[in-house]
């Protein structure tokens, strides 16, 4: 069972969740808010981002923005039908990255609050190889819970893809993303709030709740040593 706390600000309802904390208004103050902007998700609009920054400021927190890019390369590799198709898709991705990065930089200059923009690649460089390796081993085990959870996430994001081989290749997106988020949640910014315009992946709740100790011992040790992460998903408030 998740503890939940709802709060309304700037035209959005923010639903804070934790599986190890009994959330109260005081417990969501003075935290680092992580916003991992999805390259191709229009929900990360300027309006939404400004609302996040405003909400964090009201709760005496700071915001770290990053632009998820590298995991999309794996997805393009899985979904492209030919080498030329792949090259064309990568060029489109690079263009989107430049446009989105410039947008985020401009937004930060205009809001004038406690906001930091960091490249996804910089966060990747801080990950331990042990974390990446054990996740890879667990996913390759046909009977593992990790594999089941990752496949569930792929099916949720790509419901139209039925080919099992393609689905396994699409899993690389999530497998690239997971170590970055685990390292951020439990090493870089222990006790942070990960805010996103949608629900948290069940994988992270099971990891945080201690259900993946046997399959992911290194990641689970990071969890035990750190403060519980808090997740926040948003929805618009009806006018």
All domains in the chain, ordered by first residue: 3-236 (3.40.50.11710)
Strand arrangement of the beta sheet that strand 32-38 belongs to: 3-9, 12-18, 230-236, 193-196, 32-38, 62-68, 115-119
Alpha helices, DSSP H, located in the chain: 46-58, 70-79, 83-111, 120-124, 129-140, 145-157, 164-183, 202-208, 217-225
Q: What is the pLDDT of residue 70?
A: 86
Q: What is the pLDDT of residue 192?
A: 96
Q: Give the chain's radius of gyration (CA, Å).
A: 18
Identify whether the C-beta of residue 91 lies closer than 8 Å to the C-beta of residue 189: no
For 90-123, how does the pLDDT look when each residue is reduced to its tens digit (9 = 90+)?
898 899 999 999 999 999 988 867 899 999 999 9
CA dist., res. 189 & res. 104, Å (int): 21
96 burial level (CB within 10 Å; 0-12, 13-18, 19+): middle
Q: Cα torsion for 137, 138, 143, 147, to the nearest 10°?
A: -120
Query: What's the token pair of residue 61?
Result: 């927190």
Phi, psi (rounded to 5 degrees) for 20: -125, 0
Q: What is the pLDDT of residue 238?
A: 66
Give the global pTM: 0.92
CA dist., res. 213 & res. 230, Å (int): 20
For 166-222, how does the pLDDT look when each residue is reduced to its tens digit (9 = 90+)?
888 889 999 999 999 999 999 999 999 999 999 999 999 999 999 999 999 999 999
CA dist., res. 113 & res. 169, Å (int): 40
Q: What is the pLDDT of residue 104?
A: 95
Q: What is the pLDDT of residue 4?
A: 96
pLDDT at 239 over 70: no
pLDDT at 40 over 90: no
């Amino acid at each position: 069972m998740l503890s939940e706390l709802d709060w309304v600000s700037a035209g959005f309802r923010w639903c804070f969740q934790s599986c190890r904390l009994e959330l109260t208004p005081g417990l969501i103050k003075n935290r680092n808010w992580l916003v991992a902007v999805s390259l191709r998700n229009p929900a990360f609009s300027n309006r939404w981002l400004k609302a996040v920054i405003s909400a964090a400021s009201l709760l005496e927190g700071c915001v770290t923005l990053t632009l998820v890019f590298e995991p999309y390369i794996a997805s393009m590799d899985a979904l492209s039908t030919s080498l030329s198709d792949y090259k064309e898709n990568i060029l489109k991705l690079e263009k989107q990255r430049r446009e989105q990065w410039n947008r985020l930089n401009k937004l930060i200059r205009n809001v004038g609050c406690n906001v930091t923009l960091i490249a996804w690649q910089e966060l990747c460089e801080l990950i331990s190889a042990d974390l990446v390796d054990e996740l890879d081993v667990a996913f390759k085990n046909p009977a593992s819970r990790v594999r089941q959870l990752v496949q569930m996430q792929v099916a949720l994001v790509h419901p139209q893809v039925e080919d099992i081989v393609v689905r396994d290749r699409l899993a690389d997106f999530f497998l690239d993303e997971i170590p970055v988020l685990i390292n951020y949640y439990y090493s870089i910014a222990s006790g942070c709030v990960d805010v996103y315009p949608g629900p948290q992946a069940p994988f992270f709740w099971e990891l945080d709740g201690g259900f993946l100790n046997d399959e992911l011992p290194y990641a689970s040790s990071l969890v035990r040593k750190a403060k519980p992460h808090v997740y926040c998903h948003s929805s618009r408030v009806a006018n």
